[in-house]
Structures are given as structure tokens and as C-alpha cells.
Amino acid sequence: MSLAALSPAVRQYLLVTANYWAFTLTDGALRMLVVLHFYSLGYSGLSIAMLFLFYEIFGVITNLIGGWLGARIGLNNTMNIGLFLQIVALSMLLLPAAYLVVPWVMAAQALSGIAKDLNKMSAKSSIKTLVATEAQGTLFKWVALLTGSKNALKGLGFFIGGLLLSVVGFQLAILVMAGALLLVWILSLIKLKQDLGKSTARPKFSEMLSKSRAINILSAARMLLFGARDVWFVIALPLFLASTLGWDHWTVGGFLALWVIGYGGVQSIVPLLLGKNTIPDGKTVTFWALLLCVIPGLIALALSADWQIELALTAGLMLFGVVFAINSAVHSYLIVSYARNDGVSMDVGFYYMANAMGRLLGTVLSGWLYQTAGLATCLWVSSAMLVITVVVSGLLPTIKSAQ
């Protein structure tokens, strides 16, 4: 079937997805490039974490303001602004190595954080506008596919980042990514629907904060969930693999890439794993968060006992990835389902603001805890955060109670 034969809604969904995919590849590759490049220059775990501080801080701000902006000017415009800012952020890193001082790299990462969250908020919000309200099963499948494919491609980006750093070096890798993204941005400017997601009203800036109890609870659970992941995954894990286990750049990048690709693959098939007729609710989130909270503690016990460290870490990470993927996919569906039809980006933006706050908390803790106490402590903190996630998730409405 040709693209022309597809319905307008499906064509727009494919355009949004392709746009999101291209951005995600560069975002994953850039993170791996920065972590491994600056580690090779002698930066400590906390110093590397600080490079991403503004990335996460501006992600918090961007999701909140970006949701309001998307409702006013259209999601096509916020998505294209995100692409452009990522090109600028990549271009800032093309300076000679002597000029890539910490404040400059932090500024580039701040722009990249703004770009990433504008792009993600726009992609997730747009699906709500393309699916009929009563078609919740279809909405679940489309959100799971978008989210899962995005994370699989982010994993591929990790792999590409490690590969490019090993083969062509830091600057040429950045130049290749900036050029490819420029072509995607031009195509997006031409093809993406002009009024996608624009609110029929003119939402006020004061309306950015969600007034929905369910969205507020889900947002709190999301913040804790992603903080619990990033407190050990984002900085501590790659540095532990490189320094303690002696893995080289290629191996670290390849392993983490395969993990994220597998994680994304699981996300995309969660509707099948949960059952064809299953519509997730608060009970679903609570159950899978409860399963997840045990896994980091078990890995920490193996590390503390010095028992088959490499096997325990890699196998535990795989199990964590599967259960976390199910948690994340259900969360991503619920926020789109809970969001208002008119001005959907404001609710989605508020929710992903909480997501960015969790990443910010996890990133800073990951660098600090790893440097001061080691990976096992990062894992215990992860388990503790997940226990709180279970408690918060238990407050979410079930399908029966929501009716």
C-alpha cells in the first residue's frame, strides 16, 4: 500500500513517528558520546553528571511551558522548534576540544534538553488528536508502538555513539548527526500538518498546572519511577562497567544499546503481553511497580556479597529492563488516556515535566552516590524509590472506580 492510500491520520502518525525516531537516534548517540568522551578525558562520575544537569533542569521547564505552547501554536511547530534546537546544540559541540569547557558543554546540553522534551511532548500529545476517544485499545497500541520504537532507537543511538567515537572521533560524529538532522527538519517543515494539536481556546499561562487528581498522582509516580531507573543506570552503570569491569568504549556502548533496544522492543508489544482486551488502570501500574522494586535490591545483594558480579549485573539489568518497560508503557498510555482532548499537550507536558524531574534527581544522585558510595548504594536507593512508587501508584483510579 502506498502512503497516498493511507488515511490522513495514519500519514500524520507516520510523519510524527519518523520525526521522533530521527531525533531519538541523535539524542541517544549524543549522550553516549558525551559520557564516554569526557570519561576518557579524566572527568569523574559527578563531573560527568553535572554536564547533564542543565539538560535535565531545562527538560523540567520545557515540558511545562512546551505543553502550553503546543496548545497555542500547534504541535507541528513545537516539534520543528525542537528539531532546530537539537541541530544548534550539536553544532555547539563542533568547536576544537580545547574550547569544549564544562560551561559550554552544559549550555549545549541545556539546548539539547529543551529540544528533546519539545519533540517528545509533541509526539506523545499528537497521538491523542489522531485517535478517536472511544478507541482506547487502538490508543494503547499506538502509544506503546511509538514509545517502544523510540527507546529501541535510543538504544541504537547509544551503539552508534560508541561506534562513531571509536571509529571517527568526537567532532566528526557530531557533524554527521547534525547534517542528518538538518535534512529531517526540512522535511518536517514541509510535510507536518499545520494545526496539529492546537487548542480551540487560547489557554492561559496560569493553566499549565494540571487540575486532575489522576494526572497529579500519575505524575508523582512517574517522577519516582524514572528517578529510580536513572539513579543507577545513567551515570553509575556505564562508569562501573568501564572502570571496575574493564569494558572498553565499544563494549559499554554496545551492551547498553542492546539493553535499550530490547527494552524498547518489550514496550512496543506490551498490549500483547498484557492481553489483547486489557485496558490498563491504576491496579496495573501498582502491580508492575511492586515487581520492579525487588530487582535492584537483589542486584545490590549480589554486588555486596561479591557473587558473580558481572553475571548478576547483566542478568539483573535484563530482568529490570523487561519489567521497567511494561511499567513505562502502561504509564505512557495512561497519561494520554487521562489527558483532555482539547489542549492535550498541557496535560502531557505537565506529566513529562515530572518525568524530567525524576531524571534530574536520578542523574545527580547517580553521579554523587557512585563517586561517594559505589554502585550497590545506587541500587539500594533505586529500590527505596520504587517502594514509594508502589504506594503512590496505589492511589490511582481503577477502571471500575473511574466510571
Pairs from 269-278 (Cβ < 8 Å, separation ≥ 24): 269/144, 269/148, 270/144, 270/148, 270/325, 270/326, 270/329, 270/330, 271/137, 271/140, 271/141, 271/144, 273/326, 274/326, 274/330, 277/137
Amino acid making up residue 93: L
Question: For residue 1, what pLDDT is reported?
Answer: 45
- Name the residue with higher pLDDT: 82 or 339: 82
Question: For residue 189, what pLDDT is reported?
Answer: 83
- CA atoms of 42 and 33, how far apart (whole Å): 14
- CA atoms of 262 and 359, how far apart (whole Å): 20
pLDDT in tens, 279-335: 888 899 999 999 999 999 999 999 988 888 889 999 999 999 999 999 998 998 888
Question: For residue 224, what pLDDT is reported?
Answer: 95
Question: For residue 300, what pLDDT is reported?
Answer: 93
pLDDT in tens, 143-185: 777 777 777 777 788 778 877 887 888 888 889 889 988 998 8
Quick one: how far is CA 379 from the chain centroid?
20
pLDDT band for 400, please (50, 70, 90 cuts): very low
Question: For residue 28, what pLDDT is reported?
Answer: 82
Question: For residue 322, what pLDDT is reported?
Answer: 94
pLDDT band for 343, please (50, 70, 90 cuts): low
Q: Of the candidates 138, 200, 136, which has an alpha carbon nearest to the alpha carbon of residue 337?
A: 136
Every domain of the chain and the residues it spans? 3-196+210-402
pLDDT in tens, 93-143: 888 877 778 788 888 888 888 888 788 777 767 666 666 555 566 777 777
* Mean pLDDT (whole number) for 24-44: 79
pLDDT in tens, 235-273: 888 888 888 888 876 787 778 878 888 888 888 888 888
Question: For residue 133, what pLDDT is reported?
Answer: 57
Q: What is the pTM of this model?
A: 0.75
Question: For residue 50, what pLDDT is reported?
Answer: 73
Q: Which fold has domain 3-196+210-402?
A: Growth Hormone; Chain: A; (1.20.1250)
CB 71 within 8 A of CB 345: yes
Q: pLDDT exceeding 70 applies to what percent of the chain?
A: 84
Question: For residue 403, what pLDDT is reported?
Answer: 37
- Name the residue with higher pLDDT: 345 or 364: 364
Question: For residue 252, what pLDDT is reported?
Answer: 79
- Range with the lowest mean pLDDT among 138-147, 163-172, 225-234, 372-381? 138-147
Q: List CB contacts of 204: < 8 A, sequence separation 6 or more.
A: none
pLDDT exceeds cutoff 50 at 275: yes
- CA atoms of 284 and 271, how far apart (whole Å): 12
Question: For residue 402, what pLDDT is reported?
Answer: 40
Q: CA separation (Å) from 321 to 26, 60, 170, 314?
A: 22, 24, 29, 10
